[in-house]
């Protein structure tokens, strides 16, 4: 009894075909023993620090459920950590922990009766289906290469003045961004905050990559709009622990106790609590601010170096790209080659990424997977195809002042980028 016609259309299964197609092509290539340059799928290449994995082993007999909100000691250490490292002013009562920040994003959306979800394009893949699954209208504002793919205060103001839907407006703002690697500076955040205050926009500030912002001091929306910013973060990116599934949200008091309780209620009816041993190990990860800083400095140095390398090579090959400011993604724009691409039957980002995989084994995800129009010749490039455990083999040599040791290798990335540039240079 096939249930095809009963499947919830909010899941937009078709949208995931871009990722699946690239995965299939890349598997087929790997079976033929041909090299695949894995720039499609993005996860941290760095290992979880040994001290943290040891804590997980020690906690393996912790089999009890915790409160839905999470262990008090974990929420305490999350607050201390972010208050120290990011100048937040958080209180453990306002933190909710979960098995990954992704499910919490859904819990927030599901806590609203009716809302409008607003997304800058490009944005991460899951916000739109989550918003729709929660029964909301989802709308997009397209950003531009020249604005570094960032939402401007002016765009937000125009959107808010012309909007005629009478439900709360929830803007999801992710910085540093997956897929673009760009983050907002203080001036931009200040201007955006002014508009947000004026129109009472509720913001989900997805700061899952914030600790991987390359510059030492960086602003966040909480500096200018703490009362309206729900902050989303977790262990997945900065601690290399995506599969551990540990995330949290900070819900500002100003949104009211009822709202927080509604989110806790969705959490309680869905995931109950984050896995207890992971919460214990995470408490340790968030307690060691000193070693975390060193670990973060090393990661940022490596990521920045690779981003600079890739950006330079792509720009030299006339592929417009902004260097990343944090995290591990770039969002190249190939439109300078649009005529040459047309001639060989490539009319969309998806055509382009499929062809690149078939011809040279370079895996990229098309911009359309992130809300860009189908015809947009953009793609996400995740520069994580290297061995992150080298971070330990050169332990004493990498710090924020010294250069990367000459032994640090990202040869596979270099090779893939060279192949990509060569492929474009051969286009007529």
Find the shortest distance in angstroms from Cβ 101 to ligand PLP: 3
Which residues bind to ligand PLP, rule: CB under 6 A?
100-102, 124, 174, 178, 206, 208, 234, 236, 242, 247
Give the residue nearest to ligand PLP (CB): 100
Find the shortest distance in angstroms from Cβ 16 to ligand PLP: 14
Q: Smaller CB distance to ligand PLP: residue 12 or 419?
A: 12
Q: Smaller CB distance to ligand PLP: residue 88 or 237?
A: 237
Find the shortest distance in angstroms from Cβ 369 to ligand PLP: 12
Q: Smaller CB distance to ligand PLP: residue 317 or 382?
A: 382
Find the shortest distance in angstroms from Cβ 412 to ligand PLP: 21
Q: Smaller CB distance to ligand PLP: residue 102 or 284?
A: 102
Q: Could you tell me the two tokens for 90?
A: 């958080």
Q: Smaller CB distance to ligand PLP: residue 180 or 311?
A: 180
Find the shortest distance in angstroms from Cβ 107 to ligand PLP: 12
Find the shortest distance in angstroms from Cβ 420 to ligand PLP: 23
Q: Smaller CB distance to ligand PLP: residue 77 or 174?
A: 174
Q: Smaller CB distance to ligand PLP: residue 120 or 234?
A: 234
Find the shortest distance in angstroms from Cβ 35 to ligand PLP: 25
Q: Smaller CB distance to ligand PLP: residue 361 or 366?
A: 366
Dist CA 198 CA 201 (whole Å): 8
Find the shortest distance in angstroms from Cβ 247 to ligand PLP: 4
Closest CA to 211 of 50, 363, 88, 341: 88
Dist CA 233 CA 84 (whole Å): 15
């Amino acid at each position: 009894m096939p249930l095809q016609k009963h499947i919830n259309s909010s899941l937009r299964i078709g949208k995931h075909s871009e990722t699946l197609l690239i995965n299939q092509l890349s598997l087929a290539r790997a079976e033929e023993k041909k090299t695949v340059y894995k720039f499609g799928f993005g996860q941290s290449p760095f290992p979880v620090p040994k001290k943290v994995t040891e804590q997980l082993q020690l906690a393996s007999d912790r089999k009890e459920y915790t409160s839905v909100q999470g262990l008090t000691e974990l929420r305490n250490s999350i607050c201390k950590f972010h208050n120290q490292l990011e100048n937040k002013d958080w209180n453990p009562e306002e933190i909710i922990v979960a098995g990954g920040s992704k499910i919490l994003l859904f819990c927030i959306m599901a806590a609203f009766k009716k809302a409008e979800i607003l997304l800058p394009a490009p944005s991460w893949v899951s916000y739109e289906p989550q918003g729709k699954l929660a029964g909301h209208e989802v709308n997009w504002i397209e950003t531009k290469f020249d604005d570094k793919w960032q939402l401007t205060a002016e765009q937000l103001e125009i959107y808010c003045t012309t909007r005629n839907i009478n439900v709360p407006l929830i803007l999801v703002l992710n910085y540093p961004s997956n897929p673009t690697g760009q983050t907002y500076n203080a001036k931009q955040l200040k201007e955006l905050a002014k508009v947000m205050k004026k129109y009472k926009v509720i913001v989900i500030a997805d700061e899952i990559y914030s600790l991987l912002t390359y510059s030492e001091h960086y602003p966040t929306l909480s500096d200018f709009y703490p009362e309206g910013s729900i902050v989303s973060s977790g262990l997945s990116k900065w601690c290399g622990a995506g599969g551990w599934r540990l995330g949290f949200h900070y819900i500002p008091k100003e949104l009211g106790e009822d709202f927080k309780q509604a989110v806790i209620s969705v959490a309680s009816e869905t995931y109950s609590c984050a896995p207890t041993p992971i919460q214990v190990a995470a408490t340790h990860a968030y307690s060691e601010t000193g070693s975390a800083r060193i670990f973060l400095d090393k990661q940022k140095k490596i990521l920045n170096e690779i981003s600079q390398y890739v950006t330079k090579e792509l720009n030299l090959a006339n592929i417009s790209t902004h260097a990343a400011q944090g995290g591990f993604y770039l969002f190249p724009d190939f439109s300078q080659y649009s005529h040459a691409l047309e001639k060989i039957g490539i009319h969309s980002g998806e055509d382009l990424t499929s062809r690149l995989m078939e011809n040279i084994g370079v895996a990229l995800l098309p911009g359309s997977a992130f809300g860009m129009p189908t015809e947009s010749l953009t793609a996400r490039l995740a520069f994580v195809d290297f061995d992150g455990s080298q971070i330990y083999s050169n332990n004493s040599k990498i710090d924020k002042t010294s250069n990367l040791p000459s032994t640090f290798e990202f040869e596979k990335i270099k090779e893939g980028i060279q192949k990509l540039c060569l492929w474009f240079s051969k286009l007529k």
